[in-house]
Amino acid sequence: MKTTQYVARQPDEHGFIHYPEAEHEVWNTLITRQLKVVEGRACQEYLDGIEQIGLPHERIPQLGEINKVLDATTGWRVTRVPALIPFQTFFELLASKQFPVATFIRTREELDYLQEPDIFHEIFGHCPLLTNPWFAEFTHTYGKLGLKASKEERVYLARLYWMTIEFGLVDTPQGRKIYGGGILSSPKETLYCLSDQPEHQAFDPIEAMRTPYRIDILQPLYFVLPELKRLFDLAQEDIMAMVPKAMQLGLHPAKFPPKQAA
Protein backbone atom coordinates (compact mmCIF):
# COMPACT_ATOMS: atom_id res chain seq x y z
CA MET A 1 0.00 0.00 0.00
CA LYS A 2 1.09 3.57 -0.69
CA THR A 3 2.34 5.67 2.20
CA THR A 4 1.22 9.17 3.08
CA GLN A 5 2.67 12.04 5.10
CA TYR A 6 -0.80 12.77 6.49
CA VAL A 7 -2.20 11.33 9.70
CA ALA A 8 -5.94 11.28 10.37
CA ARG A 9 -6.96 13.08 13.56
CA GLN A 10 -8.49 11.03 16.37
CA PRO A 11 -11.68 12.05 18.18
CA ASP A 12 -11.76 12.70 21.93
CA GLU A 13 -13.83 10.57 24.35
CA HIS A 14 -16.99 12.44 23.25
CA GLY A 15 -16.34 11.68 19.58
CA PHE A 16 -15.30 15.28 18.88
CA ILE A 17 -12.30 15.92 16.65
CA HIS A 18 -10.19 18.92 17.57
CA TYR A 19 -8.43 20.59 14.65
CA PRO A 20 -5.84 23.37 15.04
CA GLU A 21 -6.90 26.86 13.95
CA ALA A 22 -4.54 26.73 10.94
CA GLU A 23 -6.46 23.72 9.60
CA HIS A 24 -9.82 25.46 9.99
CA GLU A 25 -8.31 28.31 7.97
CA VAL A 26 -7.29 25.89 5.17
CA TRP A 27 -10.89 24.56 5.11
CA ASN A 28 -12.21 28.11 4.91
CA THR A 29 -9.88 28.96 2.01
CA LEU A 30 -10.82 25.78 0.14
CA ILE A 31 -14.59 25.98 0.58
CA THR A 32 -14.87 29.73 -0.06
CA ARG A 33 -12.89 29.44 -3.27
CA GLN A 34 -14.51 26.25 -4.52
CA LEU A 35 -18.12 27.32 -3.93
CA LYS A 36 -17.50 30.19 -6.38
CA VAL A 37 -15.90 27.88 -8.95
CA VAL A 38 -18.63 25.19 -8.93
CA GLU A 39 -21.41 27.74 -9.32
CA GLY A 40 -23.01 27.22 -12.74
CA ARG A 41 -20.74 24.20 -13.35
CA ALA A 42 -21.93 21.58 -10.83
CA CYS A 43 -25.13 19.62 -11.53
CA GLN A 44 -28.27 20.73 -9.69
CA GLU A 45 -28.45 17.55 -7.59
CA TYR A 46 -25.02 18.37 -6.16
CA LEU A 47 -25.98 21.99 -5.43
CA ASP A 48 -29.17 20.78 -3.72
CA GLY A 49 -27.03 18.47 -1.58
CA ILE A 50 -24.66 21.32 -0.63
CA GLU A 51 -27.70 23.29 0.52
CA GLN A 52 -29.11 20.36 2.51
CA ILE A 53 -25.83 19.58 4.27
CA GLY A 54 -25.19 23.26 5.07
CA LEU A 55 -21.43 22.98 5.42
CA PRO A 56 -19.83 25.49 7.78
CA HIS A 57 -17.35 27.85 6.10
CA GLU A 58 -15.30 28.94 9.09
CA ARG A 59 -14.40 25.48 10.44
CA ILE A 60 -14.00 21.82 9.46
CA PRO A 61 -17.34 20.09 10.08
CA GLN A 62 -17.69 17.22 12.54
CA LEU A 63 -18.75 13.92 10.96
CA GLY A 64 -21.82 13.72 13.18
CA GLU A 65 -23.21 16.89 11.58
CA ILE A 66 -22.92 15.33 8.12
CA ASN A 67 -24.45 12.06 9.32
CA LYS A 68 -27.63 13.73 10.55
CA VAL A 69 -28.36 14.94 7.01
CA LEU A 70 -27.22 11.83 5.13
CA ASP A 71 -29.12 9.49 7.40
CA ALA A 72 -32.31 11.51 7.03
CA THR A 73 -32.05 11.66 3.22
CA THR A 74 -30.64 8.32 2.03
CA GLY A 75 -29.71 6.29 5.12
CA TRP A 76 -25.98 6.80 4.52
CA ARG A 77 -23.32 7.95 6.96
CA VAL A 78 -19.68 8.98 6.87
CA THR A 79 -17.12 6.94 8.80
CA ARG A 80 -13.72 8.07 10.03
CA VAL A 81 -10.78 6.22 8.46
CA PRO A 82 -6.98 6.61 8.39
CA ALA A 83 -5.44 8.49 5.46
CA LEU A 84 -5.35 5.48 3.12
CA ILE A 85 -7.40 2.27 3.35
CA PRO A 86 -7.23 -1.06 1.50
CA PHE A 87 -9.70 -1.81 -1.31
CA GLN A 88 -11.37 -4.49 0.86
CA THR A 89 -12.20 -1.99 3.63
CA PHE A 90 -13.42 0.53 1.05
CA PHE A 91 -15.88 -1.96 -0.47
CA GLU A 92 -17.02 -3.17 2.97
CA LEU A 93 -17.86 0.39 4.00
CA LEU A 94 -19.74 1.26 0.80
CA ALA A 95 -21.65 -2.03 0.97
CA SER A 96 -22.90 -1.01 4.43
CA LYS A 97 -23.79 2.53 3.30
CA GLN A 98 -20.79 4.12 4.99
CA PHE A 99 -18.62 6.57 3.11
CA PRO A 100 -14.99 6.67 4.27
CA VAL A 101 -13.63 10.05 5.33
CA ALA A 102 -10.01 10.54 6.35
CA THR A 103 -9.98 13.10 9.15
CA PHE A 104 -7.03 15.19 7.99
CA ILE A 105 -6.86 18.24 5.76
CA ARG A 106 -4.18 19.15 3.23
CA THR A 107 -1.46 21.65 4.05
CA ARG A 108 -1.29 25.13 2.52
CA GLU A 109 1.57 23.87 0.32
CA GLU A 110 -0.76 21.32 -1.28
CA LEU A 111 -3.84 23.53 -1.48
CA ASP A 112 -4.53 22.94 -5.17
CA TYR A 113 -3.80 19.28 -5.52
CA LEU A 114 -3.42 16.30 -3.24
CA GLN A 115 -3.09 12.64 -4.25
CA GLU A 116 -4.64 11.31 -1.03
CA PRO A 117 -8.35 11.98 -0.46
CA ASP A 118 -8.59 14.41 2.47
CA ILE A 119 -11.64 15.56 4.43
CA PHE A 120 -12.28 18.43 2.01
CA HIS A 121 -12.31 16.12 -1.01
CA GLU A 122 -14.58 13.57 0.67
CA ILE A 123 -17.03 15.96 2.31
CA PHE A 124 -17.19 18.76 -0.24
CA GLY A 125 -16.66 16.53 -3.29
CA HIS A 126 -18.79 13.49 -2.50
CA CYS A 127 -21.16 13.98 0.44
CA PRO A 128 -23.56 16.45 -1.21
CA LEU A 129 -24.50 13.83 -3.84
CA LEU A 130 -24.92 11.11 -1.21
CA THR A 131 -28.15 12.97 -0.34
CA ASN A 132 -29.36 11.98 -3.84
CA PRO A 133 -31.12 8.56 -4.00
CA TRP A 134 -29.82 7.73 -7.51
CA PHE A 135 -26.20 8.46 -6.67
CA ALA A 136 -26.50 6.79 -3.25
CA GLU A 137 -28.00 3.62 -4.79
CA PHE A 138 -25.22 3.29 -7.35
CA THR A 139 -22.52 3.83 -4.70
CA HIS A 140 -24.13 1.20 -2.44
CA THR A 141 -24.41 -1.33 -5.30
CA TYR A 142 -20.81 -0.64 -6.29
CA GLY A 143 -19.65 -1.50 -2.77
CA LYS A 144 -21.61 -4.77 -2.73
CA LEU A 145 -20.19 -5.80 -6.13
CA GLY A 146 -16.63 -4.93 -5.15
CA LEU A 147 -16.89 -7.05 -2.03
CA LYS A 148 -17.59 -10.18 -4.09
CA ALA A 149 -15.27 -9.36 -6.99
CA SER A 150 -11.88 -10.98 -7.59
CA LYS A 151 -8.70 -8.92 -7.45
CA GLU A 152 -8.63 -8.73 -11.27
CA GLU A 153 -12.31 -7.74 -11.49
CA ARG A 154 -11.77 -4.99 -8.91
CA VAL A 155 -9.30 -3.26 -11.21
CA TYR A 156 -12.05 -2.94 -13.83
CA LEU A 157 -14.58 -1.82 -11.25
CA ALA A 158 -12.09 0.80 -10.03
CA ARG A 159 -12.01 2.32 -13.52
CA LEU A 160 -15.81 2.46 -13.60
CA TYR A 161 -15.78 4.27 -10.23
CA TRP A 162 -13.09 6.67 -11.42
CA MET A 163 -14.98 7.57 -14.60
CA THR A 164 -18.27 8.12 -12.76
CA ILE A 165 -18.17 8.93 -9.04
CA GLU A 166 -14.76 10.62 -9.17
CA PHE A 167 -14.59 12.23 -12.63
CA GLY A 168 -18.05 12.03 -14.19
CA LEU A 169 -19.91 14.67 -16.20
CA VAL A 170 -23.64 14.77 -16.95
CA ASP A 171 -25.83 16.39 -19.58
CA THR A 172 -28.71 18.42 -18.16
CA PRO A 173 -31.35 20.77 -19.63
CA GLN A 174 -29.03 23.60 -18.47
CA GLY A 175 -26.05 22.16 -20.34
CA ARG A 176 -23.14 19.88 -19.46
CA LYS A 177 -22.42 19.80 -15.72
CA ILE A 178 -20.12 18.11 -13.21
CA TYR A 179 -21.06 15.43 -10.68
CA GLY A 180 -17.69 13.72 -10.04
CA GLY A 181 -16.23 14.47 -6.60
CA GLY A 182 -12.64 14.44 -7.86
CA ILE A 183 -13.50 17.34 -10.14
CA LEU A 184 -15.75 19.24 -7.73
CA SER A 185 -13.05 19.44 -5.06
CA SER A 186 -10.42 20.73 -7.54
CA PRO A 187 -10.55 24.34 -8.81
CA LYS A 188 -8.28 23.61 -11.76
CA GLU A 189 -10.14 20.48 -12.92
CA THR A 190 -13.56 22.13 -12.48
CA LEU A 191 -12.58 24.75 -15.08
CA TYR A 192 -10.59 22.41 -17.31
CA CYS A 193 -13.11 19.53 -17.62
CA LEU A 194 -15.79 21.72 -19.24
CA SER A 195 -13.33 23.44 -21.60
CA ASP A 196 -12.56 22.26 -25.14
CA GLN A 197 -9.19 20.80 -24.06
CA PRO A 198 -10.18 17.30 -22.85
CA GLU A 199 -12.17 14.73 -24.80
CA HIS A 200 -15.81 14.07 -23.86
CA GLN A 201 -17.37 10.68 -24.58
CA ALA A 202 -20.95 9.45 -24.12
CA PHE A 203 -21.01 7.18 -21.07
CA ASP A 204 -20.73 3.47 -21.69
CA PRO A 205 -19.89 1.27 -18.66
CA ILE A 206 -17.79 -1.24 -20.62
CA GLU A 207 -15.84 1.56 -22.32
CA ALA A 208 -15.27 3.22 -18.93
CA MET A 209 -13.86 -0.07 -17.56
CA ARG A 210 -11.48 -0.25 -20.53
CA THR A 211 -10.09 3.26 -20.12
CA PRO A 212 -6.76 3.65 -18.28
CA TYR A 213 -6.28 6.66 -16.01
CA ARG A 214 -3.64 8.38 -13.95
CA ILE A 215 -4.46 9.95 -10.61
CA ASP A 216 -1.85 12.70 -10.75
CA ILE A 217 -2.83 14.56 -13.95
CA LEU A 218 -5.82 16.43 -15.35
CA GLN A 219 -7.95 13.79 -17.06
CA PRO A 220 -7.60 13.63 -20.87
CA LEU A 221 -11.08 12.06 -21.20
CA TYR A 222 -14.39 12.37 -19.35
CA PHE A 223 -17.47 10.19 -19.73
CA VAL A 224 -20.78 12.04 -19.90
CA LEU A 225 -24.03 10.60 -18.52
CA PRO A 226 -27.24 11.44 -20.42
CA GLU A 227 -28.79 12.24 -16.99
CA LEU A 228 -27.89 11.50 -13.37
CA LYS A 229 -30.60 8.81 -13.14
CA ARG A 230 -28.44 6.73 -15.51
CA LEU A 231 -26.37 5.81 -12.41
CA PHE A 232 -29.46 4.43 -10.69
CA ASP A 233 -30.40 2.48 -13.84
CA LEU A 234 -26.87 1.12 -14.07
CA ALA A 235 -27.15 -0.15 -10.49
CA GLN A 236 -30.09 -2.31 -11.63
CA GLU A 237 -28.09 -3.81 -14.52
CA ASP A 238 -25.72 -6.79 -14.33
CA ILE A 239 -22.46 -4.86 -13.95
CA MET A 240 -20.48 -8.01 -13.15
CA ALA A 241 -21.46 -9.51 -16.52
CA MET A 242 -19.91 -6.44 -18.16
CA VAL A 243 -16.52 -6.99 -16.49
CA PRO A 244 -15.51 -10.14 -18.49
CA LYS A 245 -16.62 -8.36 -21.67
CA ALA A 246 -14.35 -5.41 -20.85
CA MET A 247 -11.52 -7.84 -20.04
CA GLN A 248 -12.00 -9.67 -23.32
CA LEU A 249 -11.98 -6.45 -25.34
CA GLY A 250 -8.88 -5.27 -23.48
CA LEU A 251 -7.67 -1.84 -22.42
CA HIS A 252 -7.70 1.18 -24.68
CA PRO A 253 -4.32 2.79 -25.37
CA ALA A 254 -3.56 5.40 -22.70
CA LYS A 255 -4.18 9.03 -23.68
CA PHE A 256 -1.33 10.20 -21.46
CA PRO A 257 2.42 9.60 -21.14
CA PRO A 258 3.61 6.98 -18.62
CA LYS A 259 4.47 8.28 -15.17
CA GLN A 260 8.15 9.13 -14.80
CA ALA A 261 9.95 7.16 -12.11
CA ALA A 262 10.94 9.35 -9.18
Q: Is the pLDDT of residue 19 over 60?
A: yes
CA distance 50 to 224: 22
Helix (H) or strand (E) holding 228: none
3-state helix, strand, coil in the chain (%, to 5): 50, 10, 40
pLDDT score, position 260: 72
CATH match of 22-249 with 1.10.800.10: yes
pLDDT score, position 155: 97
The residues facing 185 across adjacent strands are none
Higher pLDDT, 258 or 157: 157
Q: State pLDDT tens for residues 63-89.
A: 999 999 999 999 999 999 988 899 999
CA distance 84 to 41: 29
166 is in an annotated binding site: yes
22 Cβ contact list (under 8 Å, min separation 6): none
Domain boundaries, the chain: 22-249
pLDDT, averaged across the chain: 96
CA distance 101 to 55: 15
Q: State pLDDT tens for residues 203-254.
A: 999 999 999 999 999 999 999 999 999 999 999 999 999 999 999 999 999 9
Arithmetic mean of pLDDT, 132-136: 98
Please state whether beta strands 169-172 and 77-81 pair in parallel, antiparallel, or not at all (unpaired).
unpaired
pLDDT score, position 261: 59
Q: State pLDDT tens for residues 166-178.
A: 999 999 999 999 9
153 is in an annotated binding site: no
Tell me the pLDDT band of 5, cut-offs 50, 70 and 90.
confident
Q: Is the pLDDT of residue 4 over 80?
A: no
